[in-house]
Chain A
Amino acid sequence: MAQSQGLQRVRRRFSGYISDADVRNSDTDLSWYALVLPKAILFAAILLVPFIGAFYISLHEWAPLAQEHPFVGLDNYVRLFNDPIFWNAIINTAGYSFALLVFDVPIALGLALLLNMNLRGTKFYSAAIFLPVVTSWVVVSLIWTWLYNPEYGLLNTIIGSFGLPRLAWLQSSDTALASIALMSVWKHIGFNMVIFLAGLKGIPDDFYEAAIVDGANRWERFRYITLPLLKPTTFFVFIVTLIFSFRVYTQVYVMTQGGPVRSTYTIVYYFWQAGFQQFEMGYASAIAVVLFLIVFGLSILQQRTWGDDVEY
């Protein structure tokens, strides 16, 4: 309020002296450039140039210490598509993403719905469920490596006390990827839960009140109000989880180093191996470009539906 009074006072004082156009143009373009330039230069130097560089390097045989980097055309890509390790990494990454979507998203939605019931202790519950989100991937990976310890870990101790056969978890190529996915679901659920909760809080109360007046029961209110109005949020959570999960790396590095027998090799893990262990940077860049194309495709899918936000 104070501001608009100030504005009126200013208008009155200056009316007749300064036109609106003068006000708008009172600053030269230059001052805006000064504000935007630092960030724009960073974008260009740190993201845009290296991004184009990734395409360029992927067309070359590129050892970092070599004097020359011979142009090889699409050879790196041809090699990539004939590389069973790469396909294995793609399949592993896709499997990991699938597990995350199937378990993480629905459970997160369920927990958000429960928290939205405004029960006593909601603050405590949400704080506890969100806790793994704020701790780093390295920290939770190490804690879970301990939980998964075949002989002394908490999980096998619990399983064993029920008389069930113990699992090898990270040590077996049958279960290692699933174990990493399970840990990731645990770590990530709170994140999606909070986004769902924000979506639920965004649905106006009047909708529910009107429905109650019309005699809709709890299920009908959920089915005909909550679900449709939550659709944009759900879709968003789905795509973002997918995009994030395609970048899985840290937990693999800390928990299994890609093993046993490459059963937990993921796209980014293979990228790191090729680029910074073998120093085949042309080949690594080809992997990075393929990763970009996959994630970019998913982003377009997201942007397409970005527009049809529900109007209240």
Chain B
Amino acid sequence: MTTLSTDELEFDDGRPTVEHEGSWYDTLAKGVAHLILLTASAVMTIPFIWAFFTSLKPENEIFTTIKQIIPSDPTFINYVNVWMQNPLDRWILNSLILAVGVVFFTLLLDTLAGYALAKGEFKGKSLVYTLVIGTLVIPPQVVLVPLYLEMNAINWSNTYWAIMVLYIANPFGTFMMRQFFLGIPDSLIEAARMDGCSTFQIYTRIMLPLAKPALSSLGVFTFIFVWGAFLWPLVILNDSAMYPLQVGIGLLTGRYGSQWGQLLAAVILAALPVIAAYLLAQRTFMEGIALTGGKG
């Protein structure tokens, strides 16, 4: 139950299929299955494709050529315009700083704390663990008002730190890493001890290298999560230069009204990096979800 090995999400091999059943029945069942899956795939991808094609049409043609899905004369003018009129580069930079920062601190602090909670013997351990489990069930919205006041009190509003702390404090990674480290045999640690390793050296030389698969899953999942964050940055920021990309484009709707070409160009720009990364590392993404979703 602690971790999900790679094989469990192997999509194209696995159990032997049963061959002794009536073959016409099998063929029919497979045909129907393909049909359903193909339809589902189309339903899932067409909105993206349609939005992409629309973003390639000049603003004045979008409504007149609505039935012609693929633009006859594709142009990137909407991308140029929306980029010129909005600090998109700054928003993307903000999002990257936030996401990379949160991933870094999450991986660092959660492996440290997870290791201590799994293998350490110290007073207050069960108290800290209770804190982890307890905070897991708090919906993040519940803490927003006091946290907002807290961040204002220490003059942190409009800083990256104010946004990042909420996500870095997320207890899920600590729980996950603790479960992972529990599965590592004590004998390994004792052996290292006898070779003269300190607690911290055991962390850097044994725990971290062994945890690489879990770290990549946690990292990917944390990245998507922070990249998509909306409510907390919206609340704590009042300087639009500090907006992450999602908040920036989320607030464009009011301003753009019916300028769908530019709006969708911004949307495609916001979606592309994650979609590209996803297509390159599909398995890691799904493991991240299966792991975090399945055990969280």
Chain A residues packing against B (C-beta within 8 Å): 3-4, 6-7, 10-11, 13-14, 18, 20, 23-24, 26-27, 29, 31-36, 38-40, 42-51, 53-54, 56-57, 64, 110-111, 114-119, 121-147, 149, 151-152, 154, 157, 186, 190-191, 194-195, 197-199, 201-202, 205, 208-209, 212, 217-218, 233, 236, 240, 243, 246-247, 249-250, 253-254, 268, 271-272, 275-276, 281, 284-285, 288-289, 291-292, 295-296, 299, 309
Contact = CB atoms under 8 A, between A and B. Distances in A.
A281 B145 contact: yes
Contacts of B63: 151-152
Nearest to B264: A146
A292 B138 contact: yes
A195 B293 contact: yes
Contact of B116 (A36, A139, A309): A36
A25 to B, nearest CB: 8
Interface stretch (B70-78, B80-88, B211-219, B283-291): B283-291
A277 to B, nearest CB: 10
Contact of A195 (B168, B198, B230, B289): B289
A80 to B, nearest CB: 15
A208 B143 CA distance: 48
Contact of A118 (B17, B50, B62): B17
B11 interface: yes
A39 B47 contact: no
Contacts of B144: 50, 275, 288
Given A47-B169, A133-B289, A194-B290, A114 B142 contact: no
A267 to B, nearest CB: 9
A38 B146 contact: no
Interface residues of B, number: 116
Interface in B27-44: 29-30, 33-34, 36-38, 40-44
Contact of B137 (A50, A110, A299): A299
B97 interface: no
Contacts, number: 341
Contact of B135 (A47, A142, A195): A47
B187 interface: yes
Given A201-B8, A275-B145, A135 B275 contact: yes
21 contacts: A24-B190, A33-B122, A47-B169, A48-B131, A50-B143, A50-B146, A51-B135, A115-B11, A121-B34, A136-B274, A137-B230, A143-B48, A143-B51, A144-B47, A152-B63, A154-B46, A191-B289, A198-B9, A249-B230, A253-B234, A268-B141
Given A18-B194, A31-B198, A64-B152, A291 B142 contact: yes
